[in-house]
Structure 1
């Protein structure tokens, strides 16, 4: 099948990871399109569909598709762990020399897969040692104004807080070579926000512009709370800068309070003070607010340390069909 010429034994094998969560309306169409694309290539290939604990009939659709698509493997979490966990599970179970991740909603067209592979092979034929081919959206005109603006704010904040040069408008449609996948698999799950992790590790990335399609069916599962959680995960997992900012602000505030205390003592000593409680209440309230905010941020980091120590990847029970 596929491209004539070079023997498939000389070509790198390909794994395509497709996470699904409540995508019963689109799952079969997505897998069929991916299979059609791979069938026209001479590379040995596999498709790994990861059901992220769907509550609809997505898993049944995936299992039915196995009888139609011979190269399909199905992994399923017992419960929903999130998009990053589903991608991580696919990476850990992949066997290909080249691993491609793509969302299952068909907004990222599978027809770009041959171009991803060709771009990687051409880049490395010149000894550039490219590790990742990352797709970026040529435009975001299909997104809502809120989503475009929130995405721009996200990338700006992440760059400022982490110091990592995150690629704007890059989602989870990318190709990674086996050495990159093995490196990522060796890391703790708490750091696996891939759009930040890949540049953080210093992997060599080449960009490929694509145009996204409209959603094939159903509604986006990536809601505002998920975007907010992604932003929190991104900077708490990769930067201690918020702690340093809080420490600096605390130092400045303590200096200011010391100066004010000395001023109030001088006024009291000179007999110029007026009895009252307003100034004391305001100072105590401001200090307590700052302390509470600081403790909240410290609590977030301590929680991350706790999760790292617990290493709950063992609790992410899954089954392969």
Structure 2
């Protein structure tokens, strides 16, 4: 099979027939063998009934329905488990992503050997409450990940099959899939300008909570990707530095006290100095961080996947 298309959706009953007809037209014109996996993320409208009817018309349609709303990341992860095509395309169900972009994305994966190609909506039709947070996220993600993409959160992306079969997406991490792919060893990541269309049906699902959760997930990806198998390198280093600074401050206070005693001059008690309590706090916090690193190492060493590594090629 040439292409698998994963479409996560939530309350998009009006757009689904038009989207599927458009996808089928593009696939037929380019003679692609394909499947479309609709993942209904607990919709409370008639989306699932529409998917069921589409299956009667289009044999390429497959559907998965959640019992409740889990979020886009969960929908994508389940969709990735189900696909079989050589190239996997993800797109939103609201008709803001154009199926006409699929052939060009497919070509870049197959002919230019990219692991992942992310769409870039250079011209957007979203409200400012969505575009401004998106720009902030993109800037922060570029800085932390080193991946030079303009639009990490674009729903229209293309992947090689082994990429989606390797990565795991959860929380709000769908917006950082290129980062997850990079940490998994898929480093050939490209970008392509794609058309962004104004929403035709329904309303946006964007809210303030996604802004907050997205930022927290970015920190999670950065930490787990870099220190997931060696937590002591993170907690231990900070803890040791904190203990070292606290100890230096304590030694300084004691040395100054002894100096004044030797010369017979008056000086406040060590415990009367604000610096003493700062030193004590630094030592306590450093010790706790160090212990956190040890606990993290114990958990990691007992984890089922502690020695699971991604092997690209092997000769026996």
TM range (shorter): 0.7 to 0.9
- Partners of 1:152 and 1:186 lie apart in 2 by 24
RMSD: 3.9
**Alignment counterpart, residue 235 of structure 1, candidates 222, 240, 264:** 222
Q: Whole-Å Cα distance in 2 between the matches of residues 25 and 300 of structure 1?
A: 51
Q: What are the ranges of 5 or more consecutive residues in structure 2 without an aligned counterpart?
A: 306-316
Contact map agreement 1:172 1:195 (CA 8 A) in 2: no
1: CA distance, partners of 2:127 / 2:284 = 42
Match of residue 136, structure 1, among 113, 116, 120: 120
Q: Deviations over 1:154-174 (max 9, x none)?
A: 323432xxxx53533133422
d(CA) in 2 for partners of 1:172, 1:297: 37
Aligned with residue 212 of structure 2, among 204, 225, 236? 225
Offset of 1:224 from its aligned partner?
1.7
* Alignment partner, residue 96 of structure 2: 107
Matches of 2:11 and 2:215, distance apart in 1: 21
1:182 aligns with 2:162: yes
Partner of residue 167, structure 1: 149
Name which of 137, 140, 160 aligns with 1:151.
Answer: 137
Q: 1:76 maps to which residue?
A: 65
2:267 is the counterpart of 1:273? yes
Deviations 1:95-121 (A, max 9, x none): 222221112222222221122234445
TM-score (norm 1): 0.71
Distance 2:249 2:88 in 1: 61
Mapping of 1:5-44 within 5 angstroms?
13-44=2-33
Q: Is the 8 A contact 1:52 1:81 kept in 2?
A: yes
Structure 1 position 49, deviation (Å): 0.3
> TM-score w.r.t. structure 2 length?
0.72
Q: Does structure 2 conserve the Cα–Cα contact (< 8 Å) formed by 1:236 and 1:301?
A: no
Q: How does 1:287-302 map to 2 (within 5 A)?
A: 294=289
Return the offset for 1:239: 1.5
The aligned residue for residue 87 of structure 1 is 76
1: CA distance between counterparts of 2:58 and 2:292? 48
* Compared CA separation, residues 249 and 296, structure 1 to 2 (3 A): closer
* Cα deviation 1:130-181 (Å, max 9, x = unaligned): 343332232457462532442233323432xxxx53533133422223xxx2
C-alpha contact 1:14 1:98 (8 A) present in aligned 2: yes
Report the secondary structure of 1:103's partner residue.
coil
Alpha-carbon separation, structure 1, partners of 2:82 and 2:242: 51
